[in-house]
Amino acid sequence: MRIEEDAPGKRVLLMGNHAVARGAIEAGVQLVSGYPGTPSSEVIEALSEADIDAHVEWATNEKVAFDVAVGGAIVGARSMATMKNAGLNWIMDMLMTVVYGGVRGGLVVYVADDPGAHYSSNEQDTRMVAMYAKIPCLEPANQQEAKDLTKMAFDLSERLELPVMVRSLTRISHSSGDVTLGEIRRERNRLAFDRHWKMPYRWNVYGPPGPVAKHKWLFEQLPKAKEAVEEIGEPFNVLELNDSDVGVVACGIAYGYVREAVERLGVKVNLLKLATPFPLPESKVRRLIESSKKILVVEENEPVVELQLRDLAQRMHAAVEIYGRHKNSLIEPYDELSHNRVTAAIAKLAGVEFKPLKPAGEALKDLVAPRSSMLCAGCPHLGTYWGLKLALARKGGKVPIVNGDIGCYEQGGYGIVAKKVEPSFSEESRKYIAEAPYEMIDTNYIMGGGFGTSIGEFQAGYRDGRIVGLAGDSTFFHADLPAVVEAVVNKARVLLLVLDNRWTAMTGHQPSPSTGITARRQPTNRLDVEEVARSMGVRFIRRADPWDLKAIQQAIEEALDYLSSPEADGPALVIADRVCTLQAMRLKEYRPTRTYVVIPDKCIGCRLCVQFGCPANAFNVDTNKAFIDQVLCVGCGMCAQVCPTDAIVPKEGS
C-alpha cells in the first residue's frame, strides 16, 4: 500500500511510525522536518517517499528541525517536527518560548520515547516537557490512535494556536497494527505573514507587550486546552465505571497491559483509558476519583498523570488512595511496563493472587546463542579503532582518555570481549589496556558530548594521557560545530577524530550533510568535514582511509605529535574517511570482488584477528586456528593487515 493512498475506510497493517506519517498526510501537512533517531525515524522516511504536496526534509539536528517547523507554522503552514526522546532536549529553547504567543498553522511535535532504553541513552519522559511548556500532549494506545491522534493534533493546534505534542513509544512506533484509513484533507492552509496577527508583535516575544504578557496569554490558553480535551471522548478517553472500589488509569500503551491484566485476573475495576496525559480530561478523572477508594495509575516512565491526579484529588478533598510509580509505588519508576509488572500491581491492589508468566524470551534463552551487537564486517570504524589503539599505545601517554559519542562507533564502548572489570577506587589515573575496538571508549553520554568533554578534561588540566574526542559525520554537523569553535578559540590541545562514513548509519542510513542527497533522495550540496573544520580555524587536519590501518594510525600519531609541539595552539582533527561499507554495498558503490581466508599452517593462534573485532573473523578452539566466515567477509583486507604472520590472504580464485 502507498502511504498516501486515497482510500478512506480501507483497513491496512501499519507500523506505528507509518501510521503517524499517514495521520499527518490525512491532516494535509505542508512541511515536515526532523532529525533521525530511533524509534522515530520512519515517519520522515515514509513521508519522503510519499507523493504529497509537502516539503519533507532531514534537518541538521532537532533544534533546526523544530525551528524550521515553527517558521512554517508562523506563515500558516501545517507543520510537523519529528524526533526521538533525546532530540526533544535540543528543542527546549524554542519550545519554551514559542508557546508565548503560539502559532498560526497547526504545529505538531512528534516525539518517540523509549522506555526500557532499547535504543537510547536514557528513559526520559517527554510528556513532562509538554506539561512544562503547557502544551497539550496526545498519547496513542495503538497504531490506529497513532494515526488518528496525529491528525487530530493539527486541528487542536490550530484551535488553541499552540504547538501540540504527540508522544509515542518504541512499542507503538516500531510495531504494526490494524489501521483504518481516513479522509485526506486536500485543502492547504493559505500562507500569510501578518505581523500583528490577533496580538501585537505576535511573532516577536520581546515585542510589546513583551514576554510576561505573552506568558499570561499562554495561561489563558490553558482553560481552552482543558475544554478541548474534555471533548475528546471515545475511543481515546473512555471511562468505564464498573461498581468497584478499585480504579485504574491507563495512559496510552498502558491500556493494552491493563486490559489484559484485568481479564487474566478476572477482577472488576473502574477503568479510565487516557489518550491525553496533559491536560487531563478533568470531569472523567473526577468521576473516577468519586467512584473509587483506591486508584492505580499505569503509565510509561514518569508519574505525569499520577501527579496531576494527586493534585486533583487533593483539590477535591477526596479520601482516595493513589498508587502508581511515584508514591505508593506498585510499579518501580524505571524500566518498561510489562504484562507481569502491570498484572502484579493490579492484583496487589485488588487483593487477588497472581502468578507471573514466564517472559517469552526466557523460554528461548536456551535455544539462542548469546550474542551482542557488533560493528559490521568491513566497517571502517573497526580500522579507525585499530589505528587509534596502536597510536595511543605508542603516543597516548599513561592513561589516555577516549571520549566517545553516539553512532555506530559507540559500540567501541560496549565492552564486548572485554575483560571482567571490577569497580576501582584509585586516586591515580588508571585503566586497563584496551585490546579490542569494543573496549576503546572511556566516556559516552549523548550526541555531541565527546568533543566538549574532551575540551573540559584538557582545560581542567588533565595531563596523565592524551585526550581524544570522537564524532561521526552526522554527529559532527548535528552537535559538534560549536565545540570545534570552542576548542579553537580557547586553545584546547585535544585530538578530534571524525569518523566520516558519509551517512547517519546507526539510525538506518539517513543522509547526513556529508552525503550530498536530500531526504527525498535528490542530489544536493555536500559539506566536507575538512573544509568546514578548516574554515573554523582548525590548523592541523589529516585525512586517512581507515581500511588502510597504517595510514590511519600514522595520521593519528602525527596529530598527537602536533598537539605536543610548541606550534600547537588548538585542536588537531583527523578524518577517518571511508563510506559506510554496508551502504556502499547496498548502493553498489562497492562490490566485493574477493574474500579472505586463513592459511592454517601459517596461523599461530594469536587471535589478533579476532581481537580486531570484525564479525567475519572467528576462531576454532579445537584446532587453535582462526578462520574467516566466507558469507560475512566483504574483502576489505583489514584483518590481513592485522595478522603478524601473513596467514590471512585473498582466497584464490575469488
Per the structure block, which three cell numbers stand in for 596? Answer: 579472505
In this structure, are residues 64 and 71 in contact, taking their beta carbons and an 8 Å threshold?
A: no
Q: Does 503 bind ligand TPP (CB under 6 A)?
A: yes
Q: Does 45 bind ligand TPP (CB under 6 A)?
A: no
Measured CA to CA, the distance from residue 643 to residue 640 in angstroms comes to 5
Residue 418 CA, distance from chain mean position: 26
Q: Report the relative pairing of strands 503-504 and 510-511 from DSSP bridges.
A: antiparallel
Nearest of 86, 114, 152, 131 to residue 306 by alpha carbon:
131
Q: Which residue is nearest to ligand TPP (CB)?
A: 472
Q: Does 389 bind ligand TPP (CB under 6 A)?
A: no
Would you say 313 or 408 has its CB closer to ligand TPP?
408
The DSSP symbol for 521 reads S
Would you say 65 or 349 has its CB closer to ligand TPP?
65
Q: Does 411 bind ligand TPP (CB under 6 A)?
A: no
Q: Does 501 bind ligand TPP (CB under 6 A)?
A: yes
Number of residues that bind ligand TPP (CB under 6 A): 24
Residues 512-531 that bind ligand TPP (CB under 6 A): 512
Q: Does 144 bind ligand TPP (CB under 6 A)?
A: no
In this structure, are residues 416 and 392 in contact, taking their beta carbons and an 8 Å threshold?
A: no
Q: Does 37 bind ligand TPP (CB under 6 A)?
A: yes
Q: Kindly tell me the burial class for residue 631, based on how many C-beta atoms sit within 10 Å of its own C-beta (0-12, 13-18, 19 or more).
A: exposed
Measured CA to CA, the distance from residue 340 to residue 473 in angstroms comes to 42
Question: Angle at Cα 433 formed by Cα 432 and Cα 434, nearest 5°?
Answer: 110
Would you say 144 or 444 has its CB closer to ligand TPP?
444
Would you say 139 or 500 has its CB closer to ligand TPP?
500
Would you say 114 or 457 has its CB closer to ligand TPP?
114
Using the rule CB under 6 A, which residue among 29, 112, 149, 505 binds ligand TPP? 505
Minimum Å distance from CB 59 to ligand TPP? 11
Would you say 506 or 614 has its CB closer to ligand TPP?
506
Using the rule CB under 6 A, which residue among 16, 23, 36, 465 binds ligand TPP? 36
Per the structure block, which three cell numbers stand in for 56? Answer: 519533507
Minimum Å distance from CB 576 to ligand TPP? 10
In this structure, are residues 162 and 228 in contact, taking their beta carbons and an 8 Å threshold?
A: no
In this structure, are residues 342 and 265 in contact, taking their beta carbons and an 8 Å threshold?
A: no
Residues 443-462 that bind ligand TPP (CB under 6 A): 447
Three state DSSP letters for 527-545 = CCHHHHHHHCCCCEEEEEC
Minimum Å distance from CB 447 to ligand TPP? 4
Side chain identity at residue 275, one-letter code: A
Minimum Å distance from CB 428 to ligand TPP? 33
Using the rule CB under 6 A, which residue among 18, 78, 84, 542 binds ligand TPP? 84
Minimum Å distance from CB 508 to ligand TPP? 9
Q: Does 273 bind ligand TPP (CB under 6 A)?
A: no
Q: Does 58 bind ligand TPP (CB under 6 A)?
A: no
Give the end-to-end CA distance of the chain in Å, rounded to a whole number: 41
Per the structure block, which three cell numbers stand in for 365? Answer: 534463552
Using CB under 6 A, list all residues that contact ligand TPP: 35-37, 84, 86-87, 90, 406-409, 447, 472-475, 499, 501, 503-507, 512
